[in-house]
Amino acid sequence: MCEREQEALCNRPVGVFDSGVGGLTVAREIMRQLPNERIVYFGDTARVPYGNKSRETIIKFSRQIVRFLQTQQVKAIVVACNSASAYALEVLEKEVDVPIIGVIKSGARAAIDATKNDKIGVIATEATIGSGIYNRYIKEHHPDAAVLGKACPLFVPLVEEGLWEDPVTDEIAGRYLTELIDVGIDTLILGCTHYPMIRSTVGRIMGPEVTLVNPAYETAHELKQLLREKGLESGHRPGLGTELYRFFVSDAADKFQKFANSILTYGILSAKVINIEEF
Ligand code: DGL
């Protein structure tokens, strides 16, 4: 490949997708750690949540999204959804011709590094906990670890309702987290992309002795290494007037935009609705 072709390839965007707004916590981290990279984000706002859907459905939805992202000429894909990473990543890895990563492996690795007493907790959707993937991955790399998973299905609607700091969230978090406190975990993985938004509530309830792991941070770091290894890093920040970040959703663009603007420092200009069923 000549230098010009390689540069054109490096200038392509990274595709990032989630069932809705949660993946914005991962996109935010990519923007922070990889400021030169363009991003095409897709949030499946018409079909969220994925966390209570079957493996087959999550794979079908993820395949459609990947096909859409490929029409956007992405150079790499980040599955910024734990539920989709749990069920669809292995399948997608075999089907796509660009590098693709999820959020689970990096989160699990960070937890292994952080734990001192080998007791690790995972909070996530029912789908992610039901898949047993965090447990499996942690045990594979650290057989002595004890892993306790807890599904917290009410956290996603609480976050989407904006109740990040609210007595209702405190009350529900208290109930969900009691058993993790009782077994004495010293590390807790925020295994759902919505949960970093209620990190302070979770941290307050778990106490200062417990390290909270946000896989978004580790995933952005892994993406950086991957792009470097494959020679796909964008060498410079695109000039003024270039659209650095583009957002697509399957429904309710206004609501998505409002939410995105509340968590991203970069004000998004617009989110475009597409019919994902066509892909
Ligand atoms: N983004 C999803 C995840 O990380 C949570 C929301 C959903 O259930 O779709 O698992």
User: How many structural domains does the chain have?
Assistant: 2
Average pLDDT over residues 267-276: 89
Q: How far is the CA of 174 from the centre of ligand 1 (A)?
A: 21
For position 56, which CATH number holds? Answer: 3.40.50.1860
Confidence of residue 239 (pLDDT cuts 50, 70, 90): low
The average confidence (pLDDT) of the chain is: 94
Ligand 1 pocket test: which of 42, 50, 251 has the largest number of ligand atoms within 8 Å of its C-beta?
Answer: 50
How far is residue 243's CA from residue 41's CA, in Å, rounded to a whole number?
13
State yes or no: pLDDT of 200 exceeds 70.
yes
pLDDT for residue 235: 80
**Tokens for 126?**
């029912």
Are 84 and 186 contacting, i.e. CB atoms less than 8 angstroms apart?
no
Q: How crowded is the C-beta side of 152, counted as CA atoms within 13 Å? A: 33
Q: Which pTM does this prediction carry?
A: 0.94
Same domain as 112, residue 73: no
Q: What is the CA radius of gyration of the chain?
A: 18
Give the pLDDT confidence of 38-63 residue by residue, as tens digits: 999 999 999 999 999 999 999 999 99
Q: Domain span at residue 92?
A: 3-102+218-278
Which of 167, 191, 215 is where one domain is finished? 215
- Atom 7 in ligand 1: residue holding the nearest Cα: 49
Q: Is 135 in the pocket of ligand 1 (CB under 6 A)?
A: no
Same domain as 46, residue 7: yes
Question: 3-state DSSP helix/strand/coil percent for the chain, to nearest 5?
Answer: 50, 15, 35
State yes or no: pLDDT of 241 exceeds 70.
no
Give the number of other Cβ atoms within 10 Å of residue 267's Cβ: 8
Same domain as 264, residue 185: no
How far is residue 269's CA from residue 28's CA, in Å, rounded to a whole number?
15
Ligand 1 pocket test: which of 21, 54, 83, 249 has the largest number of ligand atoms within 8 Å of its C-beta?
Answer: 83
Q: Is 156 in the pocket of ligand 1 (CB under 6 A)?
A: yes
Cα 68 off chain centre by: 18
Quick one: which of 80, 6, 73 has its CA closest to 41? Answer: 80
Residues in CB range of 84: below 8 A, 6 or more apart: 17, 18, 19, 50, 58, 61, 62, 102
Give the pLDDT confidence of 140-177 residue by residue, as tens digits: 999 999 999 999 999 999 998 889 999 999 999 999 99
Confidence of residue 2 (pLDDT cuts 50, 70, 90): low
Q: Is 50 in the pocket of ligand 1 (CB under 6 A)?
A: yes
Which residue, chain included where needed, has tokens 């292995």? 90
Q: Which atom from ligand 1 is nearest to the alpha carbon of 22? A: 1
pLDDT for residue 240: 59
Same domain as 273, residue 263: yes
Which of 215, 232, 249 is where one domain is finished? 215
Q: Is 83 in the pocket of ligand 1 (CB under 6 A)?
A: yes
Give the pLDDT confidence of 12-42 residue by residue, as tens digits: 999 999 999 999 999 999 999 999 999 999 9
Which of 184, 215, 246 is where one domain is finished? 215
How far is residue 49's CA from residue 86's CA, in Å, rounded to a whole number?
14
Same domain as 72, residue 27: yes
Q: Is 81 a catalytic residue?
A: yes
Minimum mean pLDDT among 77-86, 192-201, 203-212, 256-265: which range?
A: 256-265
Q: Is 2 a catalytic residue?
A: no
Give the pLDDT confidence of 104-148 residue by residue, as tens digits: 999 999 999 999 999 999 999 999 999 999 999 999 999 999 999
Same domain as 13, residue 66: yes
The 146-151 sheet, strands edge to edge: 146-151, 119-124, 187-190, 211-213
